[in-house]
Structure 1
Amino acid sequence: MTDETVTASTAAPMLRAAPVFSVALICLGAGLGIGYLMRGSQQAVLPAIGSAHPVTQTDATTAKPMSHRITLEQMRQMADKQAAPLLEKLRTNPNDTGLLVQVGAIYHTTHRFKEAADYYNRALEIDPKDVAIRTKLASSLYRNGDIEGSIAQLNRALTYDPGNANALFDLGMIKLQGKGDPKGALAAWQRLLKMNPQLSADRRATVLKLMADVMTMMGDQHGMEGARSNDGHQ
């Protein structure tokens, strides 16, 4: 699946068309909202610490003519080639969290989520309080089918940084799509808005739009007024 960040404009039509809180309710994207709210980046893109540019699913399935599409196996082979020099460096610097995160990002992008999670876990063994890495781990766990593990990692990340916008955004998305828990999603997003007054207007609007769509599906005509009131940004 294309590693696109969810926006209100892409999520809203699906909210209206799909059964309430079904698996197809919102297209999360492989990276969910990783990095979106604070940096505008995604799990699909290697973190700023790296310089390599992995092939995304958009490259593999939509950006090229039918006869030139890259298969998933080809993507994986390219990932192995891309990861090889980083893995070589890790042999002499096994505790380099930057290298571990770069390798994890490459594997996540090519749908090798278990391997990605392994490298993120290795990085967290060295720096367990790194919220950004833990949020990336949560994304890989979610894509590998471990919903409870993903939520647990986000909750742990929030013990280190209770207002982390990316972790709260992803927690809401996973609770909504993975758990079918709209109230849990709304609670995460309300907390996000309350604890991040510095959030840019467009990203704040994205969160509010998602909340409004969820509340509409829940038949809650008054909850949004409360959310805006708690937000403090009219």
Structure 2
Amino acid sequence: MNKKSQRIFAGILAVLVSIAMVGSAFIGYFLDSDTPLPNTGAYSAANAKAEYQAQKLRIDAMVEQAKKDPENVPLQTALGNEYYNAGMSAQTVAPTEIQENFKKAVEAYQKVLKTNKDPNIIVDMATSAFYSGDYDLAEKSYNEALVIKPDFINALFNYGIFLSQAKRDWAGAINQWQKALPLTQNSSEKETIEELIRQAQSQLNANQTTDGVSNPILKNGE
């Protein structure tokens, strides 16, 4: 799976944590059978940090190149992708840098979108805006992508993540994921979305049982 297709699950970590699903991320290493492995956790953490530092060096080099060639759309796209990936990596190795990486990704994608209204880029920017805390831009952009391409599974999936996490709009999230379900390309994607729907429906049912409204968090305009 390439980086673009992986972004269908861009927000999966946040939603799994929020609605109490069980998930984990790991880095795998293949070693000779006789190689001692005294501290795999520390080894993995060290390599994750090293990769993050390498990402930052790549970003610095790309920023300098972009200054010399500001109209280079492929370069700006690659820069946005690199900031996006750094934002994801920072979740485990540099939490204080998450929002800044995603803000920079938004800036790079916005430059691309001035001349290229690619729904892939729009969704990547929307998700970056979501993680950076700019919820208005995120929602506007998800809807823009879906106007251009209503059956775009990345947009439907990630918009559902946004609705469930940013707005606690479980019904809205379920609606997006139900549209995405028949568009899945493999059993893993299908099972993930089905589980998200089940968990969101459970949340919706619990809220309705509490006070008869589908989203009590929002009922007072909060």
TM tier, smaller: 0.5 to 0.7
Tell me what 1:63 maps to.
Answer: 44
Secondary structure (helix, strand or coil) at the match of 1:219 reads helix
Q: How far has the Cα of 1:203 moved from its partner? A: 0.8
Q: How far has the Cα of 1:122 moved from its partner? A: 0.1
- Residue 191 and residue 94 in structure 1: after superposition, are their counterparts in 2 closer, same or farther (change >3 A)? same
Distance 2:43 2:138 in 1: 29
Distance 1:201 1:69 in 2: 29
Distance 1:218 1:144 in 2: 26
Show CA shifts across 1:34-87 (max 9, x none): xxxxxxxxxxxxxxxxxxxxxxxxxxx98335xx9849xx95x75553124323
Q: What is the root-mean-square deviation in Å for CA atoms of aligned residues?
A: 3.4
Structure-to-structure mapping, 1:118-129, within 5 angstroms: 118-127=107-116, 129=117
Structure 1 residue identity aligned to 2:150: P
Tell me what 1:179 maps to.
Answer: 167
Is 1:201–2:187 an aligned residue pair?
yes
Structure 2 residue identity aligned to 1:96: N
- Residue 100 and residue 193 in structure 1: after superposition, are their counterparts in 2 closer, same or farther (change >3 A)? same
Distance 1:133 1:69 in 2: 26
Q: How far has the Cα of 1:201 moved from its partner? A: 2.0
Distance 1:98 1:147 in 2: 26
Tell me what 1:15 maps to.
Answer: 19
The one of 131, 146, 157 equivalent to 1:158 is: 146
Q: Identify which of structures 1 and 2 has the higher relative contact order when contacts are C-alpha pairs closer than 8 Å and 6+ apart.
A: 1
Q: If the length of structure 1 is used for normalisation, what is the TM-score?
A: 0.60
Please list every run of 5 or more consecutive structure 2 residues that lacks an aligned counterpart in the other structure.
1-6, 26-41, 88-97, 207-222
Q: Greater helix percent: which structure?
A: 2
Show CA shifts across 1:133-164 (max 9, x none): 11111111111111121011010011111111
Tell me what 2:79 maps to.
Answer: 103
Percent identity between the two aligned chains? 22
Distance 2:142 2:59 in 1: 26
Pick the structure with greater CA Rg. 2
The one of 157, 166, 170 equivalent to 1:169 is: 157
Is 1:113–2:102 an aligned residue pair?
yes
Tell me what 1:94 maps to.
Answer: 70
Q: If the length of structure 2 is used for normalisation, what is the TM-score?
A: 0.63
Native 8 Å contact 2:19 2:200 kept in 1:
yes
Native 8 Å contact 1:86 1:103 kept in 2:
yes
Count of residue correspondences: 168
Structure-to-structure mapping, 1:41-60, within 5 angstroms: none
Q: How far has the Cα of 1:191 moved from its partner? A: 1.3
